[in-house]
Amino acid sequence: MRRSRTFLTTCAAAVTAVLALLCGPAPAAAAPRVPTILGGTVLYGSNGTQCVVAFNATGGGSRYAVTAGHCAGTPVPGTPTTWFADASRTVQVGVSVGASFPVDDYGVIRYTTSALNLPGEVALGGGAVQDVTGSTGPVVGQQVCHVGRTSGLHCGRVTAVNVTVNFAEGAVHGLFRSTACTEAGDSGGPAFSGTLAVGFVVGGSGNCASGGVTYYQPVTEVLARFGLSVY
């Protein structure tokens, strides 16, 4: 009987070893995916809007996203818009802390989730990125490129600064204009000159088939107002 028990024990161990070889060890639980948000990323608001992040910024120990105000909307006191990384609005990433439209056209979102990857870069499309190291004001003749959600990457020259544009909601002042084309849906797209953030798309005329111009909100005005800097 002792021998029989030994044989059964040996067989059981052998079967266990074979199963381990066939099936392998139990897989480890998948780690939660950390959202990556950079210039050009779309965020989804609790108010139903979808806004493009122009640039990530930092100030006072917190991180922020800068976007177009006509998209972000003016936060309602006590009920700020909540922002999510996904279209189904399940992965919360931040809340609106300020916006202006018309007069100016900007929105600022404070990131409230620590588990985020927030590089100081702009997505150019096709996996390429442009590093952003600082900011500058627009100057006539300056080369500027922007990345639109609809039209992609386009470059041109600044042709005017301190421009006023009349929208249906009212006049927006202090914009700058470039010869780079834009399409509907490009609002909020980051505009940069080399590694320097210059502004973000708020409107335009024409299109990328026949030509046109683009208008931008200068980013330095927004950064100064909220005590922020790009990185």
| N- to C-terminal Cα separation, the chain | 76
In 3D, which of 110, 123, 64, 116 has the Cα closest to residue 91? 116
Please confirm, yes or no, whether 187 is among the known catalytic residues. Answer: yes
Please work out, in degrees rounded to the nearest 5, the angle formed at the alpha carbon of residue 51 by the alpha carbons of 152 and 33.
90
Catalytic residue chosen out of the listed positions 100, 178, 187, 193:
187
Catalytic residue chosen out of the listed positions 96, 105, 178, 193:
105
Catalytic residue chosen out of the listed positions 70, 100, 146, 193:
70
The rounded distance, in Å, linking the Cα atoms of 97 and 74 is 9
In 3D, which of 210, 218, 221, 229 has the Cα closest to residue 191? 218
Indicate which residues carry an active-site annotation: 70, 105, 187
